[in-house]
Structure 1
Amino acid sequence: MSSRYAPTSGLGRLVNDFEETAIAAILGLMTLITFVNVVLRYIFSTGLIWGLEAVTFLFAWLVLFGVSYAVKVTAHLGVDAVTNLLSLQMRRAIAIIAGVCCLVYAGLLVKGAWDYWANFANLPQTSGRWFPTGFEQMKPTSYRGWYEVVDIPFPSWLRWIEPIMNEGEHYEKLPRFIPYFILPFGMALLLFRFIQAFAAILSGKSDSLIVSHEAEDAVEDVRHMNAED
């Protein structure tokens, strides 16, 4: 699938490569864990206790990566039946308004995601009701770094984080701040992609945020197939 917002800067290429690699790795891990669990269950009458929870977290990561990735590859759907009737200048003006709304929306998501994740990462939440105006002062009771997931065991190679996040106490399961990190990170990626899309509108490279016409493409494919028959 082509991308209207192809990476041109070093940062853009870095984010693009990371996104695609992460999505491929997550899909591979989900497939591997599920396959191993099926083999263990039906052949050896056992299984990975933590497999379902791990796949669930990986799927959540995949969805949140996919939100920003769909902006990049122009896969989000939209209705442009009305805007196509307008002049180019009007379409561009509406696209700018829509772009501002998307940036504000993504900014709110970043703030909300950070504030939620910060509870589990021993970090302060942002101040301000709608937009961050700074960071709140943390109290000793605000630390939640000791919260763990249900089944996924804590890998021994991560023991170095125990003095930092859990006052030296041992984790038995994976701390929640690790899988929950995708919340602020994924929303930050979405904001980055909306900034790219908005910049494309301002520079005249695009006149709309509605960039996918899968239904029209499907109808066209069927028409060609019927014509060949």
Structure 2
Amino acid sequence: MAHHAQPKSTLGRIVNEIEETMIALLLAGMTIITFINVVLRYGYNTGLVWGLEAVTFLFAWLVLFGVSYAVKITAHLGVDAVINLFSPPVRKVLALIAATVCLAYAFLLLKGAWDYWANFANLPQTTGKWFPTGFEEMRRSSYRGWYETIDIPFPEWLRWIQPIMNEGEDYEKIPRFIPYSILPFGMALLLFRFAQATMRLIRGEATSLIVSHEAEDEVEAVKHMNEGA
């Protein structure tokens, strides 16, 4: 069954609070916006023009937060039928190999996410095909901070970013670098969670990286309930 590994470090506790708080807020935001849109549509024949796009972005944020959080609570599914045929020492070696692959994969995702987001945030992309070797030289023609979303209106309290990101020009819609910022942030969280899981393997606190046996555990629980009935 998926379980919570209690964070031991201050950083771990901070990341844990960020993930759990953001997941709750995102779910609440999606629910509220969708509910308001349903009421407006069927009750007043109108609706929030920006509602669908906002919910889409919120759902994307929820997914990317959920990916790293699922690593933390070992909720990702995996197939370990072959691995279980080996002795515990061999299984640990195979788990560490899998962890190394996951770390490399998460690092590549982080690089790609940064390079994609930087294009909209007036920041330099990284050099190097696979792993970053530095940062590209920025030119004025490379700035893309003026790209906006389709429907989500720009809030007045964010006008202070216009001189920084859009050369003082007014935004009509939210610039894309704001909702897209979850890409590098989410991938950084994923890399952090894989690093934590790897350390648990090294210290012997876990025998598998992220494999969950939730379905088997639920079946076993139902079996015991039926036997006790």
Instruction: Please classify the TM superposition score into its range, dividing by the shorter chain length.
Output: over 0.9
The question of 1:46 aligning with 2:46 is answered yes
Q: How does 1:27-46 map to 2 (within 5 A)?
A: 27-46=27-46
Cα distance in 1 between the residues matched to 2:215 and 2:203? 28
Equivalent residue, structure 1, for 2:119: 119
1:20 aligns with 2:20: yes
1:115-173 per-position Cα deviation (integer Å, ceiling 9, x unaligned): 00000000000000000111011122110000000000000000000000000000000
- 1:153 equivalent to 2:153? Answer yes
Gaps of 5+ in 2: none
- Does the CA-based 8 Å contact 2:121-2:145 persist in structure 1? yes
Residue 26 of structure 1: how far off its partner (Å): 0.3
Q: Normalized against structure 2, the TM-score is what?
A: 0.96
Give, in whole Å, the separation in 1 of the partners of 2:35 and 2:212.
34
Query: In the alignment, what sits opposite 2:102?
Result: 102
- The answer to whether the Cα contact below 8 Å between 1:80 and 1:210 also exists between their aligned partners in 2 is no
What does residue 175 of structure 1 align with? Answer: 175
Count of residues paired in the alignment: 228
Give 1:1-229 correspondences, 5 Å limit.
2-3=3-4, 5-228=5-228
Query: Unaligned 5+ residue runs, structure 1?
Result: none
SS in 1 for 2:181: helix
- Matched residue SS, 1:178: helix
Contact 2:75/2:210 (CA < 8 Å) preserved in 1? no
Which ranges of 4 or more aligned residues in structure 1 deviate by more than 4 Å? none
Distance across 2 between alignment mates of 1:224 and 1:172 = 60
What whole-Å deviation, never above 9, does each CA across 1:67-124 have from its counterpart, x for those lacking one?
Answer: 0000001100111111112111101110111110000000000000000000000000
1: CA distance, partners of 2:157 / 2:227: 60
Equivalent position amino acid for 1:126 in 2: T
Structure 1 SS opposite 2:124: coil
